[in-house]
């Protein structure tokens, strides 16, 4: 059996999503990305941490060509502006406050901290996005955050009042080194705040596309509580967030430094009651994943046979898992619309579907658009209301396959 990356316990495999490419490796048509890995998920029988069975080297995923820009969604920009206000109001009321972010990407959160004049530092190894953060006035180092890099900055930065990470902690298999780094730079009363896709939502919605190379862990209050304990921290607060299909924001403090909010006990109890600790839950989840895969493939095949023009919307990292698991390529989905310039003119990883500019969707001839960016459904459907008004239909696959809208 594989050993848990958090506690060394036995990891029980429950899902095999097959051979997969790197989810963010969008390549020009004349270039073939050859790297693949076997995507499998398991659950630790000791600490409950849901994790991949093998690790993709971090330099393969995060580099100068990394094409995910956090500011691509107006709703997420608003979310991170409010997050910055919240972190500063809650933890930075004193002179000389310091904020550190792990995975600051294009500065979507830290730009507000920089603008408020607070001392800060973003760790962001992907130079493509780090450069944009810098242009927004954010102080960034392109080192991977871990125990060594954290220690190297302590002298110039001072102890951190907040270490924050969004959609990044779950990307880091080497959490022992990351937590050791946080332990070194955090002020005595400081907090580590991080938010990631929530295991409970992934199970409830069968959103298996949240599983791909970069998402090594699917956290729960149970697993994060165990992780905290191992490193002398304590889980002091949890909050569910309505972004990216359902996330939880975890707040950790040094053990005993801050009161534990009742929400922590409530979430732990709710997780136990909903069967998140029961192996049968994961067996049933895996069966639903297969059903969704088969249903999606059958629906796309039927639409093609009926002569309908099908496209995709949102060249997400998530879509790589769906497309490659189901063996869906350009024969079933003609092209994918996306607003990211770095993805346009390239092919979706593994599946080889051309990515085109989202601006062109206004004049699309498509009958059906598969909503790969389903986590941004509200924003996209509002912006593209003309598609449905003109008779177009959205094809969704979370939590189940269904055609929405149109005539």
Name which position in 184, 309, 379, 388 contacts ligand TYD (CB under 6 A): 379
Local structure of 202: helix, strand or coil: helix
Give me the half-sphere count of Cα atoms (radius 13 Å) on the Cβ side of residue 30.
0
- Alpha helix stretches (DSSP H) within 32-174: 58-61, 74-91, 110-115, 127-135, 147-157
Contact 110, 120 (CB under 8 A): yes
Residues 63-122 that bind ligand TYD (CB under 6 A): 68, 72-73
Name which position in 20, 51, 52, 70 contacts ligand SAH (CB under 6 A): 70
- x-or-dash string of contact with ligand SAH, 144-173, rule CB under 6 A: xx--------------------xxx--xx-
Interacting span for ligand TYD (CB under 6 A) from 173-181, 279-287, 291-299, 336-344: 336-344
Per partner kind, with CB cut-offs from 5 to 8 A, the member of ligand SAH, Zn ion, ligand TYD, none near residue 79 is none
* Residue 109 CB, nearest approach to ligand SAH (Å): 7
Contacts of 214 (CB under 8 A, 6+ apart): 23, 24, 61, 171, 317
Local structure of 356: helix, strand or coil: strand
Q: State how far the Cα of 29 lies from the Cα of 43, in Å rounded to an integer.
A: 38
Per partner kind, with CB cut-offs from 5 to 8 A, the member of ligand SAH, ligand TYD, Zn ion, none near residue 339 is ligand TYD
Reference 127, options 177, 67, 197; nearest CA is 67
Contact 364, 392 (CB under 8 A): yes
Q: With binding defined as CB under 5 A, does residue 281 bind Zn ion?
A: no
* Residue 130 CB, nearest approach to ligand SAH (Å): 8
Task: Count residues near ligand TYD (CB under 6 A).
Answer: 19
Task: Return the CA Rg of the chain.
Answer: 21
Residues 8-27 that bind Zn ion (CB under 5 A): 9
Task: Count residues near Zn ion (CB under 5 A).
Answer: 8
Name which position in 22, 47, 322, 401 contacts Zn ion (CB under 5 A): 47
Query: In the chain, helix, strand, coil percent, each to 5?
Result: 40, 25, 35
Q: With binding defined as CB under 6 A, does residue 213 bind ligand SAH?
A: no
For binding to ligand SAH (CB under 6 A), which residues are involved? 58, 62, 66, 68, 70, 102-103, 105, 123-126, 129, 144-145, 166-168, 171-172
For binding to ligand TYD (CB under 6 A), which residues are involved? 68, 72-73, 314-318, 338-340, 343, 358, 373, 375-376, 379-380, 383
């Amino acid at each position: 059996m594989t050993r848990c990356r958090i506690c060394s316990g036995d990891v029980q495999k429950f899902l095999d999503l097959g051979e997969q490419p790197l989810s963010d490796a969008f390549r020009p048509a004349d270039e073939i990305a050859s790297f693949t890995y076997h995507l499998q998920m398991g659950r630790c029988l000791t600490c409950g941490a849901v994790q991949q069975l093998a690790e993709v080297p971090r330099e393969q995923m995060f580099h100068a060509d990394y094409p995910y820009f956090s500011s691509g969604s107006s709703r997420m920009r608003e979310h991170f502006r409010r997050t910055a206000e919240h972190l500063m109001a809650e933890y930075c009321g004193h002179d000389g406050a310091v904020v550190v972010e792990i995975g600051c990407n294009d500065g979507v959160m830290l730009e507000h901290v920089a603008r408020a004049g607070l001392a800060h530092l973003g760790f962001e190894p992907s130079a493509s996005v780090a450069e944009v953060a810098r242009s927004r006035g954010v102080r960034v180092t392109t080192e991977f955050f871990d125990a060594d890099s954290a220690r190297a900055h302590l002298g110039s930065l001072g102890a951190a009042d907040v270490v924050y990470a969004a959609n990044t902690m779950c990307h880091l298999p080497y959490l022992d080194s990351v937590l050791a780094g946080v332990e070194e730079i955090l002020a005595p009363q400081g907090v580590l705040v991080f938010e990631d896709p929530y295991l409970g939502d992934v199970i409830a919605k069968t959103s298996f596309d949240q599983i791909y190379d970069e998402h090594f862990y699917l956290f729960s209050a149970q697993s994060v509580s165990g992780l905290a304990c191992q490193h002398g921290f304590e889980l002091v607060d949890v909050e569910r967030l309505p972004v990216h299909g359902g996330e939880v924001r975890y707040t950790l403090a040094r053990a005993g430094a801050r009161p534990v909010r009742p929400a922590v006990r409530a979430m732990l109890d709710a997780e136990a009651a909903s069967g998140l600790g029961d192996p049968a839950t994961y067996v049933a989840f895996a069966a639903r994943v297969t059903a969704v895969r088969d249903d999606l493939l059958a629906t796309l095949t039927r639409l093609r046979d009926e002569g309908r023009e099908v496209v995709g919307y949102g060249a997400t990292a998530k879509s790589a898992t769906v497309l490659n698991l189901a063996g869906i390529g350009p024969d079933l989905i003609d092209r994918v619309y996306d607003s990211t310039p770095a993805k346009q003119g390239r092919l979706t990883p593994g599946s080889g579907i051309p990515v085109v500019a989202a601006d062109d969707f206004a004049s699309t001839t498509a009958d059906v658009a598969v909503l790969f960016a389903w986590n941004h459904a509200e924003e996209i459907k509002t912006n593209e209301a003309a598609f449905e008004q003109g008779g177009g239909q959205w094809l969704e696959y979370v939590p189940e396959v269904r055609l929405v809208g149109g005539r």
